[in-house]
Amino acid sequence: MTLKPCSLHVVLVYVYAVSVLGQAASVPVVQPQSITVTSSAEPLPLGDSYRSTRTFDLTDPGFAASYDALEDVLRLDTSVTLEERAAGGVQADISIRGTTFEQSLILIDGMRINDPETGHLNLDLPLPVEAIANIDVLHGSGSTFYGSDAIGGAVNLITSAPSHTRVSVKLGGGSFNGTEQHLRADWVNQKRGIVNAEQLTGSRDTSDGFYYQTPGGAYEDDRGYHADTVASDTFLTTAAGPGEVILAVSDRPYGANLFYGDYDSKERTKSWFGAVRQSFSRDVSADFAYGRHTDEFILLATDPGVYENNHIATNWQSDLRHSSEVGHKINLAYGLEADGESIMSNSLGHHARNQGAGYLSLSVREFKRLSLLLGAREQIYRGPMQVFSPSVAGNYRLSENLHAHAAYGHGFRLPTYVDLYYSDPATIGNPALEPETSQSYEAGLNYAAAAHPRVGAAATLFRLHQANAIDYVKPASTPTAPWQALSIGRVDYTGAESSVSFVLTASQHLDLGYTFIHANPLNAGLLSEYAYNFAMQNASLSYAAIVAHQLSVRTQLGIIQKTTQSLYPLWNLALARSQGSIRPYLMLNNISNTAYYEVPGPPALPMPGRNYVAGILFAWGAVH
């Protein structure tokens, strides 16, 4: 990172491509076609894989009855590790390639939604899962395009205009007195070749909390939740060009026992999100987004007056982009961004910061088998301070079916407001923290048959070097001391990720994945709360099939080993009718009844044992 008084802030931006592995039936398989990546000005062939990525297609007809939450889909990617504190995706941390929960960026259509208060709330999404059409997961640094936080990678949630007028309602219930009610209503109007569309989605998921046995033999039931989410997505074509307006809101009260300490706590979060996206021509587009997030935390549910935090965080962002062909197979993209964030809190105080950036990228496709992406970004923050983030990626076509890729990227992260200012008996922030920076390297091979693909494979070696890494630490000699936010200096992650997809038949798909990660040892004499709690090994086997033309079968077996735990398995199975107006479904989770802890603590948070959800999805209109 270079910190210096600001000069020019015209910079380059990196645009990442998609992996050789596409997606069918929500299990990645190879597809010989082009897809549009949000950060790309035009569709790119799946073989042009400059970076390691995964793409998940949520438009599959059987998807709505097979997954309840975004977290269920992300588990299909073995380079992604989730640390849920409760069932139902109520609060979960996400790690990509071993990095901490603060070092992964979440986006909606390329627009940042990370919470400036704390990364613990980054997956507190305002959108129901039914509003998401695709998920792109970038492995490795994405700061050149996306800015702060994308050190380990980025998850981009992509919306798309509906193609038919239709309505679907999902009603279900299951273990722990759980209920779910989900709605999706699409309206499409096409006149004289112009298409306008509206999509309304809503969800309500509840649970009384799950039971588990304590060492003393008693049973607890204190992580219940009510999660309500509503969103409107409007697609309009005006005289200026096609545009989109997103409005979304969510409300989640939940039991937070053991979330941040050995306390029977409760918490309530609310989110508001609005965005406008507009294309003015084939080459020029702009967008603006505003988000507001509130967080009410009560330390002792039985005595709320003892300790309470109330936080109100806001953030806005805007950008103007231009992309055009400047030569044969040469694309130039550039633009400007501005964003700001603030917090009003009884414990953190009142703070605000604004940022600006400029970027430029140059894509050269297939020059004597070699394709290149060159880019960089200059981000201005805290008055005259700035950070420069270059990147370079290349793809070399070894044969029609085999491609080699390599990439380098610079990443950075500004500390959250909790990192800087939070303080309680168990945790101490640090207002002197400087931004984290990283250097990301990777190289790999992608294989996909060009005609009638039946097998696809990808393997990547990667290394992530962090400087000024931030972690919460304490002396090993004083385990009862509070955690303190400190810059622990250098942290290096080295690893390998691989995946193989098989199209067994037209209706059967099998996907295998494995990721291994190693980190350099922590400084002697210190205990780490986050930076060294990564998944050393993560393996996954996923299978999807359509039986008798209408029964959708999906199953995943995951085997995970974290640095502080032994190997443990997680096996899930979903059965659903895939067509017709009445579609019963059944989801079985943790079939092996594994006792496991995604957040190791202390205190450790036990996760649910074997459980189920069953119900019916009702579909009207042109639902396939």
Whole-model pTM? 0.90
- Which residue type is seen at 76? L
In the structure, what pLDDT confidence band is assigned to residue 4 with cuts at 50, 70 and 90?
Answer: very low
Is residue 398 within 8 Å of residue 404, measured between CB atoms?
Answer: yes
CA angle 618, 621, 624 (to 5 degrees): 80
Can you list the positions of beta strands (E) in 449-520? 455-475, 483-505, 508-519
In the structure, what pLDDT confidence band is assigned to residue 32 with cuts at 50, 70 and 90?
Answer: very low
In 3D space, the residue among 306, 223, 206 whose CA is nearest the CA of residue 266 turns out to be 223
The reply to whether 16 falls in a domain is no
Torsion of CA 416, 419, 423, 425, to 10 degrees: 130
Dihedral of alpha carbons 130, 131, 136, 137, sign: negative
Q: What pLDDT does residue 9 have?
A: 31
- Residue count of the chain: 624
pLDDT in tens, 127-153: 999 999 999 999 999 898 889 999 999
pLDDT at 550 > cutoff 80: yes
In the structure, what pLDDT confidence band is assigned to residue 46 with cuts at 50, 70 and 90?
Answer: very low
In the structure, what pLDDT confidence band is assigned to residue 423 with cuts at 50, 70 and 90?
Answer: confident
In the structure, what pLDDT confidence band is assigned to residue 523 with cuts at 50, 70 and 90?
Answer: confident
pLDDT at 484 > cutoff 70: yes
Q: Write down the H helix ranges in 443-557.
A: none
The Cβ of residue 15 has, within 10 Å, a number of other Cβ atoms equal to 25
Task: Summarize the confidence of residues 110-130 as an average pLDDT.
Answer: 93
pLDDT in tens, 372-397: 999 999 999 876 789 999 999 999 99
Task: Summarize the confidence of residues 572-580 as an average pLDDT.
Answer: 91
In the structure, what pLDDT confidence band is assigned to residue 212 with cuts at 50, 70 and 90?
Answer: low
In 3D space, the residue among 468, 471, 408, 407 whose CA is nearest the CA of residue 437 turns out to be 468
Alpha carbon separation from 424 to 304, 400, 427, 428, 596 (Å, rounded): 16, 59, 5, 6, 28
Q: Across-strand partners of 290? A: 274, 316
Alpha carbon separation from 567 to 127, 528, 537 (Å, rounded): 33, 21, 8
Secondary structure (3-state) at 21: coil
Task: Summarize the confidence of residues 272-296 as an average pLDDT.
Answer: 94
In 3D space, the residue among 122, 150, 148 whose CA is nearest the CA of residue 138 turns out to be 150
* CATH number, residue 325: 2.40.170.20
Q: What pLDDT does residue 479 have?
A: 86
Q: Which helix or strand (DSSP H or E) is residue 221 part of?
A: none
Number of domains in the chain: 1
- Which residue type is seen at 42? E
- Which residue type is seen at 513? G
Is the pLDDT higher at 136 or at 14?
Answer: 136
pLDDT at 356 > cutoff 90: yes
Q: What pLDDT does residue 345 have?
A: 96
The per-residue DSSP string of 116-130 comes to SS-GGGTT--SS-GG
Q: Is 110 left (phi over 0), alpha (psi -120 to 50) or beta?
A: left
Alpha carbon separation from 219 to 299, 606, 607 (Å, rounded): 21, 12, 13
The reply to whether 20 falls in a domain is no
The reply to whether 23 falls in a domain is no
In the structure, what pLDDT confidence band is assigned to residue 50 with cuts at 50, 70 and 90?
Answer: confident
- Which residue type is seen at 387? V
The reply to whether 558 falls in a domain is yes
Task: Summarize the confidence of residues 580-597 as an average pLDDT.
Answer: 92
The reply to whether 11 falls in a domain is no
The reply to whether 602 falls in a domain is yes
Q: What pLDDT does residue 49 have?
A: 62
Q: What pLDDT does residue 112 have?
A: 92
Rg (CA), the chain: 23
The per-residue DSSP string of 136-181 comes to EEEES--HHHH-TTTTSEEEEEE----SS-EEEEEEEEEGGGEEEE
What gap in Å lies between CA 167 and CA 159, rounded to an integer?
17
pLDDT in tens, 218-255: 566 678 999 999 999 999 988 888 999 999 999 999 99
Q: Which helix or strand (DSSP H or E) is residue 70 part of?
A: helix 70-74
Q: Which helix or strand (DSSP H or E) is residue 20 part of?
A: none
What gap in Å lies between CA 591 and CA 553, rounded to an integer?
15
Dihedral of alpha carbons 319, 289, 139, 501, sign: negative
The Cβ of residue 489 has, within 10 Å, a number of other Cβ atoms equal to 11
Is the pLDDT higher at 63 or at 569?
Answer: 569
Is the pLDDT higher at 443 or at 217?
Answer: 443
Q: What pLDDT does residue 569 have?
A: 95
Dihedral of alpha carbons 130, 134, 139, 145, sign: negative
pLDDT at 11 > cutoff 60: no
Task: Summarize the confidence of residues 480-484 as an average pLDDT.
Answer: 91
Is the pLDDT higher at 328 or at 467?
Answer: 467
User: Residues near 279 by Cβ (< 8 Å), separated by ≥ 6?
Assistant: 240, 241, 242, 243, 285
In the structure, what pLDDT confidence band is assigned to residue 21 with cuts at 50, 70 and 90?
Answer: very low
Phi and psi (nearest 5°) for 131?
-85, -5
60-74, 190-204, 480-494, 561-575: range with lowest mean pLDDT: 60-74
Q: What pLDDT does residue 267 have?
A: 95
Q: Would you call 423 exposed, middle or buried from its count of C-beta atoms within 10 A (0-12, 13-18, 19+)?
A: middle
Q: What pLDDT does residue 383 have?
A: 65
What gap in Å lies between CA 414 and CA 22, rounded to an integer?
33
Residue ranges making up the domain that contains 139: 34-621
Is residue 22 within 8 Å of residue 47, measured between CB atoms?
Answer: no
In the structure, what pLDDT confidence band is assigned to residue 29 with cuts at 50, 70 and 90?
Answer: very low
Is residue 535 within 8 Å of residue 98, measured between CB atoms?
Answer: yes
Which tokens hold the place of 582? 């009445």
The per-residue DSSP string of 390-424 comes to EEEEEEEESSSSEEEEEEEEEEEEPPPHHHHH-EE
Q: What pLDDT does residue 72 have?
A: 87
Q: What pLDDT does residue 220 have?
A: 64
pLDDT at 98 > cutoff 50: yes
Q: Terminus-to-terminus CA distance in the chain, angstroms?
A: 50
What gap in Å lies between CA 334 and CA 326, rounded to an integer?
13
Is residue 356 within 8 Å of residue 9, measured between CB atoms?
Answer: yes
In the structure, what pLDDT confidence band is assigned to residue 27 with cuts at 50, 70 and 90?
Answer: very low
pLDDT in tens, 596-617: 888 877 777 888 889 999 999 9
The reply to whether 44 falls in a domain is yes
The reply to whether 25 falls in a domain is no
What gap in Å lies between CA 466 and CA 490, rounded to an integer?
5
